[in-house]
Structure 1
Amino acid sequence: MPEGSSCRIRLESGSGAGSPDPVYPRPFRSRRRNRHGRGLRGELLPAHLAGSRTRAERFDEWVMESAQRLERLWGEDIQSYQFVVQEIPEGLEELLRRGGSIPLAAAAPGNGPKPPVITIYRRPVESTARGLVPVSELIHDVVVEQLASLMNMDPETIDPTYGRFRPL
């Protein structure tokens, strides 16, 4: 073959009778090792199992469960609140430089049509819980604390089970 000429690889297949049909190479995805045409039969972990969700997705679910738990206790009063999850608080570096403690959550009262917002910071909550308290219960306690500050009430008034998992 002369140098610089292009050659297209051509595979031939056929039944043996007549002229063979030209088949060009398959794309990479279909050439992967796929013994006996089986391939991957399904998801590695089905969606209903806990291991199929990421930590962030589980955290979001725990925040929603906490809000629903409070909604069962308080009814329509809680429906106007908005719950938000962020990875870390904004301005964390500056806060640490000044020697302040890392907040687990923040609450902002509503202004006009804007609803009150409770923001839970995922990384600080997870690092605080580390084996001492179940993360889901710490999330609930943090949400109750923020809600109590917005409603000007004691956390025990908001939820009687507040603080039951905290170490002494």
Structure 2
Amino acid sequence: MRGPIAPPQVPLAVSRSEAFDDLVRDAADRLERRWPQLAEVEFAVQEVPPAITDADEVDVADLVPLGRLIPADGPPGRGSPNRIVVYRRPVEIRAKGRDERALLVHEVVVEQVAELLGLSPENVDPRYGEE
């Protein structure tokens, strides 16, 4: 007899991808309470970063990015909004467990928001780097 191990409403049935999406959403919600202007920012998750096609862009110090800020395309209300992307696979590879993954996701989101707002990560979230 085959079927799901757990019903869909229990946490066991949440996929790794869905759990990661939840971590990004939680980090964004936490920051949005402090920075209401983030309501206009789109937060997204992609599996891996896009391949770099220009060899001149590759820097040995820049390994695989964990996140990226994609600036708005056009004036507010037209075009695409500011977008912060977190790359799931690189983050998962660097984190050993769920708690470490949640912390790393939050740090990546804070760093990208800091870049967007032109602030230091510590100004965006005073607890950045403490946990």
Shorter-chain TM-score range: 0.7 to 0.9
RMSD (Å), alpha carbons? 2.5
Instruction: List aligned pairs for 1:81-120, cutoff 5 A.
Output: 81-91=41-51, 99=60, 100-112=62-74, 113=78, 114-120=80-86
The AA in structure 2 aligned to 1:71 is: E
TM-score by length of 2: 0.82
Gaps of 5+ in 2: none
1:58 paired with 2:19, answer: yes
Out of 83, 94, 107, the position equivalent to 1:141 is 107
The AA in structure 2 aligned to 1:119 is: V
Gaps of 5+ in 1: 1-32, 34-38
- Residue of structure 2 in register with 1:80 after alignment: 40
Identical residues among aligned pairs (%): 37
Give the structure with higher Rg (CA).
1
TM-score by length of 1: 0.65
Out of 87, 96, 99, the position equivalent to 1:130 is 96
Larger relative contact order (Cα-Cα within 8 Å, sequence gap ≥ 6) = 2
Q: Is the 8 A contact 1:81 1:116 kept in 2?
A: yes
Q: Residue 52 and residue 92 in structure 1: after superposition, are their counterparts in 2 closer, same or farther (change >3 A)? A: farther
